[in-house]
Amino acid sequence: MTPKPLLARIVVIASAVCAPVWAQSPMFTDGPAFGGSKVFSEGVNPLGNPARYGQAPPGYYFTYLNGDQESKDTESTLNNMGSSDPASMATLANAPWALRTTAYGFAAAKNGGSLTLTREQFNGLVAYPDQNPANFGAGLANNQSYLDGRRATVDRLSVGGGGPVQNGSTTAMGLSLRVERLAMGDTVLDYVPLNPYPSAVSTLLDGTSTTVSSWNMALDAGLVLELAQGVRLGVSADQINPKHLWDVYLQPQFRAGLQLDLGQIAKLSLESDLNSVERMPFPVKQQSSSASLRFSLSTAAAFLVGVERRKVDAVDVTNIGGTLQIRTDSLLLGIGFQAGQDRPMKGATFMVN
């Protein structure tokens, strides 16, 4: 295994780790992995379908999101790795990445219009184990395994509007404009097998430094059409305006979904990206599909459960989670949880009007 130049390391870590979450953070407990949807979103998440803005009850919304996603046993393997343990290196090769996410934000919704201010923070690591048998034991000094760590932040202002194209229409359309400031930083730790690195893993997942920053402006659009009673078709497009940002070519990504009412108490949403595209922070193709189910437990309570399958380059990741919502005429409380290891992803939404 030959050591990679720093830029190549940055590209690989960012594409493998940060891209899945940047594509659809479940802010405001609304996203496929929390039981929500992107095509049939709640109308508050700035990464959802703008045509759904009219679905959000008027009010002021606050959100918080925190937790880890990782391949199975990544951190425990790193923290318990022996100084010359080929078996652990083989395990690490099949579970090479971990990601820690924190996000919070504010949204104001009224009459189909929305204004959101959000901040997302990502810390990730990817391990590159050298499994060459000659580089263990007496040859351990030649082992070229290393860890890449990545810190990224996104500060976002989003404005948009959507709803029925005319009074009484079952067709809804919407547009939104996102202005984003992105910052990134990188850390490299060489020669993993020489130490178990328990403190280094923590440092990478809790880092705060960034070294470069830039701006992005994105135009998103969406459409929802009622095909029949209780059957809806939705499409959305994000980053309609293509743009090169550093070495990433941001192109439009299109997503389509079908939503079915299952009696009076449940809605089933099935959706998928129609094309794979590069997304920040570095160039790699990604695409996802998801299914979610919403149960209305009563007039004041609902439970959502969902599963998302995301392909990032050649790596597939499956996320499963759910959300409990409590509503009154003037308040909304949503608590979301995504299954995972170490620090499972969790989120909350609070609305008052």
How does pLDDT run across 249-302, given as a tens digit for each residue?
Answer: 888 999 999 999 999 899 999 999 999 888 765 567 888 899 999 999 998 999
Of the candidates 334, 352, 344, the residue with the CA atom closest to the CA atom of residue 30: 334
Burial (Cβ within 10 Å: 0-12, 13-18, ≥19) of residue 295? middle
CATH T-level assignment (fold) for domain 6-352: Porin (2.40.160)
Of 48-52, 129-133, 164-168, 328-332, where does mean pLDDT reach its minimum? 129-133
Q: Which residue has the tokens 């009563």?
A: 298
Helix (H, G, I), strand (E, B) or coil at 199: helix
The answer to whether residue 5 scores a pLDDT higher than 50 is no
Point out which residues pair with 345 in neighbouring strands: 338
Which residues on neighbouring strands pair with residue 25, listed in sequence order?
Answer: none
How far apart CA 348 and CA 68 sit, in angstroms, is 15
DSSP code, position 30: -
| Cis ω for the linkage preceding 281 (within 30 of 0) | yes
CB 31 within 8 A of CB 46: no
The average pLDDT across 312-340 equals: 86
Residues 36 and 30: beta-carbon distance below 8 Å: yes
What number of residues does the chain have? 353
Kindly tell me if the per-residue pLDDT of 22 is higher than 60. Answer: no
Residue 199 pLDDT level (bands cut at 50, 70, 90): low
